[in-house]
């Protein structure tokens, strides 16, 4: 096919229908797969994971800025996790107003009191950004959050570049197809898990994926698991409820599940209140934290990823405490921050409430939750804040400036959904992996990226929440 322009392709209805069919087949061919809603725990029936028909243009300079700052964010998260005074101060108000964070913090206090059993720390995180549109038409990289637990889609993101390259080739957009970067977060996440397993020092020990009851996104996990099997590292999958009867600690605090020693616990679950269905679930979490197994994340790293910590890091002078005599690192990290405001009781929090009520469309109200679909926008901000403005309950939230990305046209491919051109917004995630043993950082890498795109009619929600779809950056 002769070279055509992207606009000509977008407006050619017959071509779009044919491309969509080819794209879905390519997704199935290359393993961009999810289980179905009807059979979420069966691999008998699979479908393609939702994705964009075309990759989304992303400015090369901000894309590389996001990759370059990731190793600094890895170090920042790790240093926060080692600073009990900072964590106690930062979360003092939140643990009183948010029961879930409070329970996590109780485990943290218990472990601090007893002493950590394991000096090996593994972090597999993902820093998420949007590109804020400036008045001069340029884009600024602004962080939405950093995920320190169960950062997903590293597996499927490793398979989508091939799909989009194929779509662009079929469409006759050959030059654009060459601007889709190779991307393999699954390999990097697997390297981190393998390194922690190796340092643990027992060839018979296993890596345990702690998983949810409903596992539609199991293929995303499997790509990471296969990186371990390739190295002859055994993996097992367990739910909280599976462990209550089968888990034990020996006299040396080694963790065993059905007589298998566990070297690494990889949390792909445990980040939402509903993941802890009973007090037994909390006891299971405490037992794992007490154990000699490497936790990804351990409880202090989990708390380092809370929204309240994110807001406190934006205060003047705080980053400098974690990076003394490294002004360039501080500048690189701070450049990604947008406005973040406390809602704690007191004059500063009162001012934040007043500011949000006066202009709610300028802000996002964020609870201490992960997993997508939790943030509050527009008039709903007023309703929530009016209800808690005079109460310590407001400390369960933070306020953030709303990032304003430039919408682009694209087609979102979903099973059984009609094919229509949508105005879309995208979110860039960057995966980091680090391993520390005692005082030595033995691995610190940026291991890949993830682009997710949604229709601009939706304010919030990720792929797992059923709103966003997988995408790839087309560097421009």
φ, ψ (nearest 5 deg) of residue 59:
-60, 130
Set 295, 366, 402, 454: catalytic member:
366
**pLDDT computed for residue 138 by the predictor:** 85
- Rounded to the nearest 5 degrees, what angle is found at the Cα of 349, between the Cα atoms of 344 and 352? 135
For residue 46, count other CB atoms closer than 10 A to its CB. Answer: 17
**Active-site annotation holder among 225, 227, 370, 427:** 370
Neighbours of 352 (CB within 10 A): 22
**Structural domain spans, the chain:** 6-338+403-475, 339-402
Q: Would you state the structure tokens that stand for residue 280, as one six-digit string?
A: 């037994």
The pLDDT assigned to 370 comes to 79
Q: C-alpha dihedral over 151, 153, 154, 155, to 10 degrees?
A: 140
Catalytic residue at 126?
Answer: yes
User: Which residue in the list 371, 378, 461, 466 is annotated as catalytic?
Assistant: 371
Q: For the chain, how big is the Rg over CA atoms in Å? A: 22
CB-based contacts of 326, cutoff 8 Å, min separation 6:
none
List, for residues 328-373, the tens digit of each pLDDT value.
Answer: 999 999 999 999 999 999 999 999 999 999 999 999 999 998 767 7
145 is catalytic: yes
CA 257 to CA 264: how far, in whole Å?
12
What pLDDT score was predicted for residue 1? 38
Residues of the chain with pLDDT under 50: 1-2
User: Which among 254, 268, 452, 454 is annotated as catalytic?
Assistant: 452
Predicted local distance difference test score (pLDDT) of residue 457: 81
Q: Which residues of 215-227 are buried (b: 16+ CB within 10 A; e: fewer)?
A: bbbbbbbbbbbeb
Give all strands of the β-sheet with 340-341 in edge-to-edge order: 340-341, 397-401, 363-367
Phi/psi at 450 (5° precision): -145, 130
Active site residue 454: no
Q: Is 307 a catalytic residue?
A: yes
What is the C-alpha separation between 148 and 215, in angstroms, rounded?
A: 20
Q: Which of 24, 35, 126, 195 is catalytic?
A: 126
334 is catalytic: no
452 is catalytic: yes
Q: For residues 311 and 342, is the Cβ–Cβ distance under 8 A?
A: yes
Q: Residue 163 and residue 31: Cα distance in Å, rounded? A: 10
Residue 152 is a catalytic residue: yes
Which two three-digit tokens encode residue 241? Answer: 């409820």
The 8 Å CB, 24+ separation contacts for 346-355 are 349/394, 349/395, 352/399, 353/385, 353/389, 353/394, 355/399
Q: Catalytic pick from 142, 238, 285, 307?
A: 307
251 catalytic per annotation: no
For the chain, give the secondary structure using H, E and C. CCCCCHHHHHCCHHHHHHHHHHHHHHHHHCCCEEECCCCCCCCCCEEECCEECCCEEECHHHHHHHHHHHHHHHHHHHHHHCCHHHHHHHHCCHHHHCHHHHHHHHHHHHHHHHCCCCCEEEEEEEEEEEEEECCCCCEEEEEEEEECCCCCCCCHHHCHHHHHHHHHHHCCCHHHHCCECCCCHHHHHHHHHHHHHHHHCCCCCEEEEECCCCCCCHHHHHHHHHHHHCCCCCEEEECHHHHHHHEEECCCCCEEECCEEEEEEEECCCCCHHHCCCHHHHHHHHHHHHCCCEEECCHHHHHHCCHHHHHHHCCCCHHHHHCCCCHHHHHHHHCCCCCEECCCCCHHHHHHHHHHHHCHHHEEEEECCCCCCCCECCHHHHHHHHHHCCCHHHHHEEEEECCCCCCEEEEEECCCCCCCEEEEEEEEEEEEEEEEECCEEEEEEEEEEEEEEEECCCCCCCCCCCCCEEECEEEC
Q: What is the pLDDT of residue 373?
A: 73
Catalytic residue among 145, 225, 289, 312: 145
- Crossing angle between the packed helical segments 60-81 and 327-334, to the nearest 10 degrees: 110
Determine if the pTM surpasses 0.85. yes
Please check whether residue 473 is in contact with residue 63, taking contact to mean a CB–CB distance below 8 angstroms: yes
339-402, CATH topology level? Dna Ligase; domain 1 (3.30.1490)
261 a catalytic residue: no
Report the Cα–Cα distance between both ends of the chain, in Å, rounded: 23
**Smallest Cα–Cα separation from 99: which of 288, 265, 298, 272?**
272
* Predicted local distance difference test score (pLDDT) of residue 2: 46
CA distance 124 to 189: 7
Phi, psi of 265 (to 5 degrees): -105, 115
Token pair recorded at residue 400: 């953030």
- Which residue among the candidates 93, 125, 147, 177 is catalytic per the annotation? 147
The residue annotated as part of the active site, out of 152, 158, 281, 395, is 152
Provide the pLDDT for residue 116: 87
Taking Cα atoms as reference points, which of 90, 436, 117 lies closest to residue 254? 117
């Amino acid at each position: 096919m002769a070279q055509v322009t992207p606009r000509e392709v977008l407006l050619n209805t017959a071509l779009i229908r044919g491309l969509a069919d080819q794209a879905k087949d390519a997704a199935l061919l290359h393993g961009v797969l999810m289980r179905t809603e009807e059979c979420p725990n069966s691999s008998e029936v699979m479908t393609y994971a939702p994705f964009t028909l075309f990759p989304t243009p992303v400015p090369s300079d901000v894309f590389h800025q996001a990759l370059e700052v990731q190793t600094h964010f890895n170090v920042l998260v790790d240093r926060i996790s080692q600073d009990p005074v900072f964590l106690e101060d930062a979360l003092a108000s939140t643990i009183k107003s948010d029961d879930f964070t409070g329970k996590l913090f109780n485990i943290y206090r218990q472990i601090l009191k007893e002493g950590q059993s394991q000096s090996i720390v593994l972090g597999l995180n993902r820093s998420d950004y949007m590109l804020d549109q400036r008045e001069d038409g340029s884009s600024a990289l602004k962080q939405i959050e950093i995920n320190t637990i169960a950062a997903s889609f590293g597996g499927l993101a490793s398979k989508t570049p091939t799909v989009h390259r194929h779509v662009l080739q079929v469409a006759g957009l050959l030059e654009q197809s060459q601007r889709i970067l190779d991307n393999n977060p699954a390999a990097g996440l697997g390297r981190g898990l393998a390194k922690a397993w190796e340092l643990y020092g027992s060839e018979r020990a296993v890596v345990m994926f702690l998983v949810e009851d409903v596992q539609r996104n199991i293929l995303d996990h499997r790509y990471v698991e296969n990186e371990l099997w390739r190295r002859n590292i055994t993996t097992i999958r367990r739910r909280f409820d599976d462990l209550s009867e089968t888990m034990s600690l020996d006299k040396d605090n080694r963790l065993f599940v059905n007589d298998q020693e566990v070297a690494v616990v990889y949390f792909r679950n445990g980040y939402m209140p509903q993941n802890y269905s009973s007090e037994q679930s909390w006891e299971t979490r405490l037992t794992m934290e007490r154990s000699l197994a490497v936790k990804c994340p351990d409880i202090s790293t989990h708390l380092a990823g809370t929204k309240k910590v994110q807001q406190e890091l934006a205060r003047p002078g705080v980053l400098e405490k974690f990076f003394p005599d490294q002004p360039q690192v501080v500048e690189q990290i701070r450049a990604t921050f947008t406005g973040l405001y406390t809602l704690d009781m007191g004059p500063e929090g009162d001012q934040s409430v007043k500011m949000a009520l006066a202009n709610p469309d300028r802000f996002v109200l964020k609870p201490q939750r992960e997993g997508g679909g939790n943030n509050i926008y527009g008039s709903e901000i007023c309703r929530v804040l009016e209800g808690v403005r005079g109460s310590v309950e407001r400390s369960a939230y933070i306020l953030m400036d709303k990032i304003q990305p430039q919408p682009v046209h694209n087609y979102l491919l979903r099973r059984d959904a009609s094919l229509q051109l949508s105005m879309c917004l995208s979110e860039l995630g960057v995966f980091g992996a680090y391993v520390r043993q005692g005082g030595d950082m033995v691995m610190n890498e940026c291991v890949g990226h993830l682009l997710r795109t949604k229709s601009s009619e939706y304010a919030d929600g990720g792929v797992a929440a059923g709103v966003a779809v997988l995408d790839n950056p087309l560097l421009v």
